[in-house]
Structure 1
Amino acid sequence: MSRRATAARGARTIALAAASAAGALLLAGCSPSTTTLDYDPSDGVGVTIQSVDGDELRGINLMVVATAEGEPGNLLGALTNETQDDATFTLEHPDGSPVSLEVPAGGTVYLGTPTGETVQFDTVSAAPGSYVDATLSAAGAAEEFKLPILDGTLPEYADHLPSAAASPSPSATPTD
């Protein structure tokens, strides 16, 4: 092969590599950065409600934990109020009466924790692994969302099942 042919092949290789690199950079620049996207980092869902003045009222990691469809369920998650005024959050769901909770200005109310509020549904109309339609409202605004139903399969939720909360812990009996 001649020097001229070798030089031409090398030039074509460099040009092809440069064009490929430029194309890759162009595509990378056009695609969204997934690290800037909002997402729910756990098994529950987040619901954002804008108040009249633009401050956020939010439901964080909301979910219901129940043993089965038709059984009682516990609501887990949190409600946060970033506004300057106290707010009443109302959760409407198909499994009973609406639930209303007061959240102080700049505060958060936790649901289903030992120091938080306990909200129990009499029955859950969907099987664990599915969703029920729900609406969260506060400050004159409302947002519809799908409220997930989970069971105690994951160990972190087993202690939150209504039957687990209602049954007493076994106590040790002294032996002679």
Structure 2
Amino acid sequence: MSRRATAARGARTIALAAASATGALLLAGCAPSTTTLNYDPSDGVGVSVLGEESRDLRGINLLVVGTAEGEPGNLLGALTNETQDDTSFTLETPDGAPVSVDVPAGATVYLGTATGETVQIDTLSAPPGSYVDATLAAAGETKEFKLPILDGTLPEYADSLPSTSPSPSPSPSE
């Protein structure tokens, strides 16, 4: 093979590599940046009461921690009110009594944290490791969603299990 043919082959290889790199850069520039997308950063779910496009009234990273179906569970996450008015969020699950949390205008109330509010679901209608149908309501709007139920297997949730009061022991009879 002549020197001229080798040089031409090398030039074609460089041109093809440059064209491929340019194409890859153009495609990468057109793709959405995943770091700008809203997502649930942990094990809970996000719920926008006014629809997915509105972030004014929403639950953030909501989940329940409990020990078994039929037992109580603690609600963890946060409720955010970015409107001009105070509002009350109400969470309902199939077998539990509705729970309400007041959230001032422009504020976020954290649930299940050391500085937040403790909110207990009185009865879990599904076992840990599953989801329960739930509704979150605020400002006259309601959104249905699947609420995950976790147990204390993961260390980060072990301290969030509902406290169980020991039942009083019977008095000895004489």
Q: Which bin holds the TM-score, normalised by the shorter protein?
A: 0.7 to 0.9
Measure how far apart 1:5 and its partner are. Answer: 0.6
Distance 2:113 2:22 in 1: 53
Distance (whole Å) between structure 2 residues aligned to residue 85 and residue 137 of structure 1:
15
Tell me, yes or no, if structure 1 residue 2 matches structure 2 residue 2. yes
Query: Is there any run of 5+ residues in structure 2 with no aligned partner, and where?
Result: 167-174
Query: Which residue in the other structure is 1:166 paired with?
Result: 164
Do the aligned residues in 1 keep the contact of 2:99 with 2:121 (CA within 8 Å)? no
**Identical aligned pairs, as a percentage?**
82
The residue identity in structure 2 corresponding to 1:67 is T
Look up the match of 1:173.
Answer: none
Q: Which residue of 1 aligns with 2:171?
A: none
User: Is 1:103 matched up with 2:103?
Assistant: yes
Encode CA deviations 1:85-120: one digit per residue, 9 max, x unaligned: 110111121132222221111222222234433222
Question: What residue in structure 2 maps to residue 152 of structure 1?
Answer: 152
How high is the TM-score relative to the length of structure 2? 0.84
Mark the runs of 5 or more structure 1 residues left unpaired by the alignment.
169-176
Letter in 1 for 2:164: A
Distance 1:80 1:36 in 2: 20
| 1:55, distance to aligned residue in structure 2 (A) | 6.6
Alpha-carbon separation, structure 2, partners of 1:32 and 1:82? 26
1:123 paired with 2:146, answer: no
Alpha-carbon distance in structure 1 between the residues aligned to 2:78 and 2:72: 20
For 1:71-86, list aligned pairs within 5 A.
71-86=71-86
The answer to whether the 8 A contact 1:133-1:145 is kept is yes
Aligned residues: 164
Distance 2:49 2:70 in 1: 30
Aligned equivalent of 1:172: none
**TM-score normalised according to structure 1 size:** 0.83
Contact 2:74/2:160 (8 A) holds in 1:
yes
Q: Distance in 2 between matches of 1:32 and 1:123?
A: 42
Q: Which amino acid aligns with 1:26?
A: L
1:30–1:50 Cα change, 3 Å: same
